[in-house]
A and B are shown apart, each in its own frame.
Chain A
Amino acid sequence: EAAVTQSPRNKVAVTGGKVTLSCNQTNNHNNMYWYRQDTGHGLRLIHYSYGAGSTEKGDIPDGYKASRPSQENFSLILELATPSQTSVYFCASGDVANTEVFFGKGTRLTVV
């Protein structure tokens, strides 16, 4: 069964702290994505990856880094968290042509 697992599901972080959001997929998909979702903005693409070792900037990459150490894992890193990064973050995986795309259940991040 196709699966994208995000951890943690909920996180409270302090301003200026480092936050790492993790994503694991068992779909053997090449593409992986990190989005954030805020009311009125829909899903906005932060970073994405074509495969292990690759990361690409999405539409709103400032303040975020990404890491794809393996086919299965894709992390989003906030080196210096700010309250403006309070949001719900979704990870997704897709096959080469994105004909098949699966999302995780989301991580709710609150930066105080």
Chain B
Amino acid sequence: SQLAEENPWALSVHEGESVTVNCSYKTSITALQWYRQKSGEGPAQLILIRSNEREKRNGRLRATLDTSSQSSSLSITATRCEDTAVYFCATPYGGSGNKLIFGTGTLLSVKP
């Protein structure tokens, strides 16, 4: 079973709208990361949020973390067509946190 899982599986919005992707995880964590993968490219790290943080922002991106419910969200405001991508959450795993485990991703389509 997945240690981290995003939902929904897919989303579609129009440019300018806001959107939220959710992540649930199954292990205690020191940090959670969000990644974006555009078609034909490798994933790119967007935000790292530590277990003692509730919210982290990076431009139009906002990540939240709720360790009590073992969940996180990534919100994107004022979406653009270039935000079209698969969004993953990832958790460091293992005693030293070196094992980086990804969810299956949420496919976001932003239409003009």
Q: Which residues of A contact B (CB under 8 A)?
A: 4, 31, 33, 35, 40-45, 48, 50, 56, 58-59, 90, 92, 94, 97-106
Contacts and interface: CB of A to CB of B under 8 A. Distances in A.
Contacts of A45: 99-102
B31 A106 contact: no
23 contacts: A31-B98, A35-B102, A40-B104, A41-B104, A42-B102, A42-B105, A43-B43, A43-B102, A50-B96, A56-B99, A90-B43, A92-B42, A92-B43, A92-B100, A94-B98, A97-B31, A97-B97, A98-B92, A100-B45, A101-B45, A102-B45, A105-B41, A106-B42
Interface residues of B, number: 21
A7 B31 CA distance: 31
Interface string B76-108: 000000000000100010001111111111000
Nearest to B30: A97
A1 to B, nearest CB: 14
A12 to B, nearest CB: 18
